[in-house]
């Protein structure tokens, strides 16, 4: 009984949809593809196989209305007098236009026999020398599209607000173009027809975007990958006096993206503090907030200059593998709660303003390979648990923190004083040079335990660390 009721409802819905509307939508998609080709310099594409501006989906005359009695029977169509009805069908197996993906939802009662074209669900044209701009009409009508990849081209203009109408979109990749202007707030509607499986990828990196991250980003709660990096003027508030009040540097709504695995804001122009809500993204595996070394030297505002302390909530990020916050203005002490970052593999925070003692956080970081705190002013010894880091490959710390290592490997020699070419006004204040911990160990460790070290050797600064005046 339930099945009959459902079929009855379906029948009513199909009957009230004029066949002409369904046919027109398919024809419009063909026209939109042609418009897209012309708007993006299609003749100059590297590959434009089968893109045919003369293609037509009609073959003679066909009825444009639903007929009664039901079921509808399409009238006969006269044989064509010229070329084939569909010349290089964008969705055809043998004539598919390069980069176009389709499904075929043709349904006989509404589409009849005149159903050659499918619905466009993918446009995949990366690295294909596209120029010009993204036509507004293209995004306004192609609402069934699920993958849009126009990356590594030369597209210019803004991201149209109509991008919010892509209700079935799962992947949006516009990176490495010349796009400008803000990220439209309409992104909140992208993929809203997919429910829990909404937009997964949003990548607009390596463009010329301006403005800040709209708070509406929080609605994209299915996001797995968010990359807005390398937009030189993005994040820089237009009002330098009231910037923090009018333009929060990084919106707290990012914390709503609990499925996010990658957040990349490298080489943008963000300022201000990190919101503690950022660390509610407990699925996050990669976090990139790098500034610019030359931006610090020159005081250039068009480079990340994030400041403040690292919130203790960072300890909740048990899945975080990689963190890079180098070349910013972070200060204060490292929170002891970092000991909860059990999966951490890579930590880079060089050239910041961190101070205070180094907390004992290494006990459970068995996967750590890189630890870089070069160019800060941390004090005190490294905790003995640093010796448990059996996978460690690179260890860059301050000179005062080496006492424990010197006790353990008292015969170590570390050559060179550092590069004389390093500017004196870098945050580390003086010249210095990094060394690979493993190379140093392999070449210069002659003792395996501090019981082998005599007090004379231990105190022989000339023998071991005389050349060191800076970070290692």
Q: Residue 132 has what pLDDT?
A: 97
267/404: higher pLDDT? 267
Instruction: Judge contact between 126 and 173, C-beta under 8 A.
Output: yes
Candidate from 362-376, 388-402, 448-462 with smallest mean pLDDT: 448-462
Distance, CA of 381 to CA of 174 (rounded, Å)? 47
Say which residue, 124 or 379, is predicted with more confidence.
124
* Sequence ranges of the domains in the chain: 1-73+80-170+177-195, 171-176+196-459
Q: What pTM, to 2 d.p., does this model score?
A: 0.77
Do residues 386 and 379 make contact, with C-beta atoms less than 8 angstroms apart? no
Rounded Cα distance, 305 and 270, in Å: 6
Which of 46-50, 72-76, 244-248, 394-398: highest mean pLDDT? 46-50
| 400-406: average pLDDT | 64
Write down the pLDDT at residue 383: 79
- Reply yes or no on whether the pLDDT at 461 is more than 50: no
Tell me the three state secondary structure of residue 172: strand
- Nearest alpha-carbon partner for 218 in 204, 232, 242, 198: 198
Distance CA 10, CA 19 (A): 15
- pLDDT for res 407: 55
- pLDDT of amino acid 396: 83
Nearest to 302 by CA among 359, 219, 238: 238
Instruction: Give 225-267 pLDDT, tens digit per residue.
Output: 999 999 998 986 645 555 443 445 799 999 999 999 999 999 9
Residue 363, pLDDT score: 87
The most confident of 11-15, 130-134, 433-437, by mean pLDDT:
130-134
Fold for domain 171-176+196-459?
3.80.10
Mean pLDDT lowest among 106-120, 246-260, 428-442: 428-442
Q: pLDDT tens, 305-332?
A: 899 999 999 999 999 999 999 999 999 9
Between CA 250 and CA 168 the distance in angstroms is 27
- pLDDT of residue 444 exceeding 80, the answer is no
pLDDT band at 197 (very low <50, low <70, confident <90, very high): confident
Q: What is the residue-wise DSSP string for 270-337?
A: -EEPPPGGGGG-TT--EEE----HHHHHHT-SSS-EEEEPPPGGGGG-TT--EEE--SSEEEEPPPGG
Kindly state the average pLDDT of the residues 452-470.
45
pLDDT digits 0-9 by tens, 1-43: 444 433 333 333 333 333 233 333 366 788 889 999 999 999 9
Whether the predicted pLDDT of 413 surpasses 80:
no
Whether the upstream peptide bond of residue 71 has omega within 30° of 0, thus cis, is: yes
């Amino acid at each position: 009984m339930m099945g009959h009721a459902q079929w009855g409802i379906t029948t009513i819905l199909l009957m009230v949809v004029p066949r002409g509307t369904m046919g027109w939508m398919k024809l419009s998609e063909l026209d939109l593809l042609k418009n897209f080709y012309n708007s993006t310099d299609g003749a100059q594409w590297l590959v434009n196989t089968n893109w045919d501006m003369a293609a037509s989906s009609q073959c003679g005359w066909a009825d444009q209305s639903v007929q009664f009695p039901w079921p509808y029977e399409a009238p006969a169509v006269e044989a064509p007098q010229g070329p084939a009805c569909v010349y290089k069908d964008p969705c055809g197996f043998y004539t598919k236009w390069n980069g176009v993906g389709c499904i075929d939802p043709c349904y006989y009662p509404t589409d009849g026999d005149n159903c050659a074209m499918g619905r466009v669900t993918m446009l995949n044209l990366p690295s294909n020398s596209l120029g010009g701009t993204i036509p507004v009409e293209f995004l306004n009508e192609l609402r069934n599209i699920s993958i849009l990849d126009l990356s590594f081209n030369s597209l210019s203009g803004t991201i149209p607000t109509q991008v919010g109408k892509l209700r079935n979109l799962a992947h949006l990749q516009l990176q490495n173009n010349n796009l400008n202007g803000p990220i439209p707030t309409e992104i909140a509607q992208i993929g809203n027809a997919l429910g829990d499986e909404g937009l997964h990828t949003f990548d607009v990196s390596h463009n010329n975007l301006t403005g800040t991250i709209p708070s509406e980003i929080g609605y994209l709660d299915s996001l797995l990958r968010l990359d807005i990096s390398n937009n030189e003027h993005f994040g820089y508030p237009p009002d330098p006096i009231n910037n923090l009040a009018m333009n929060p540097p990084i919106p707290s709504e990012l914390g709503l993206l609990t499925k996010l695995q990658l957040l990349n804001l490298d080489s943008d122009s963000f300022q201000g503090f990190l919101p503690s809500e950022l660390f509610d993204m407990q699925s996050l595996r990669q976090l990139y907030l790098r500034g610019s070394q030359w931006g610090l030297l020159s005081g250039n505002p068009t480079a990340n200059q994030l400041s403040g302390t690292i919130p203790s909530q960072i300890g909740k990020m048990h899945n975080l593998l990689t963190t890079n916050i180098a070349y910013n203005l972070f200060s204060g002490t490292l929170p002891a709660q970092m000991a909860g970052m059990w999966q951490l593999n890579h930590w880079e925070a060089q050239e910041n303003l961190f101070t205070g003692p180094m907390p004992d956080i290494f006990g459970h970081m068995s996967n750590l390979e890189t630890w870089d705190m070069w160019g800060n002013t941390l004090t005190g010894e490294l905790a003995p648990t640093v010796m448990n880091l059996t996978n460690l490959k690179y260890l860059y710390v301050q000179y005062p923190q080496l006492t424990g290592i010197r006790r353990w490997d008292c015969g170590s020699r570390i050559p060179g004083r550092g590069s004389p070419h390093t500017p004196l006004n870098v945050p580390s204040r003086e010249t210095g040079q990094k060394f690979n911990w493993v190379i140093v160990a392999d070449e210069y460790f002659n003792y395996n335990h501090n019981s082998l070290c005599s007090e004379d050797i231990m105190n022989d600064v000339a023998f071991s660390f005389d050349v060191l005046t800076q970070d290692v």
